[in-house]
Amino acid sequence: MALTGTIIRRVEISSGSKVIHDIFRHTPSDISSICPDKIHACDVLSGRRGAVGSKIIWHFTYDGKKQSLTEVIDEVDETNHKIVFKVLEGELVDGKYKAFIITFHCEQKDGKQCAVWIIDFERPDTSVPYPTSFMEYLCDYLKEIDDHKSCN
């Protein structure tokens, strides 16, 4: 029996929703210069950068290992600064998760701007852990990006 789950994390941001959204949608390759110890490259494999249906590959270091992750942009909502990535393959998910979707959006919460990461996933059984450490990884490099953009 497959087990589905969702993890949600909010990160307060000061650089602005549009700034953060635009980096993930239009200039993700800039992240490697902001967080070079975490993100090494983000390349378009097919389609147009930031467009729904575009296939992209991330090269990164996670859990002390260099890895890659291929995903497709499944949805974009400019109004809510939202982008949905459907993960297709990579060391993080191969042989572990039947489905893995990463959603990023920005919202106002208690008068503050927040960036929100959501990971929806399907595990084949209970031996596969929740991807909580990967969620922390996403939040850590988001904070680095926000700090960098807040100073510029």
Name the residue type at position 99: A
The predicted-structure confidence for 28-87, as pLDDT tens digits, reads as follows 999 999 999 999 999 999 999 999 999 999 999 999 999 999 999 999 999 999 999 999
CATH number of the domain encompassing residue 88 = 3.30.530.20
Name the phi and psi angles at 150, rounded to 5: -70, -30
What six digits make up the tokens of 83?
């982008």
Name the residue type at position 112: K
pLDDT at 20: 92
The predicted-structure confidence for 114-125, as pLDDT tens digits, reads as follows 999 999 999 999
Q: Does position 128 have pLDDT exceeding 80, yes or no?
A: yes
User: How high does pLDDT run on average in the chain?
Assistant: 94
pLDDT at 152: 66
Q: Which domain holds residue 43?
A: 3-151
- Percent pLDDT > 70 in the chain is 99
Number of alpha carbons in the 13 Å side-chain half-sphere of residue 106:
23
pLDDT at 111: 85
Q: Please name which of 71, 76, 96 lies closest in space to residue 26, comparing C-alpha atoms.
A: 76
d(CA 128, CA 115): 27
pLDDT at 109: 84
- Percent pLDDT > 90 in the chain is 89
d(CA 111, CA 43): 35
The tally of domains found in the chain comes to 1
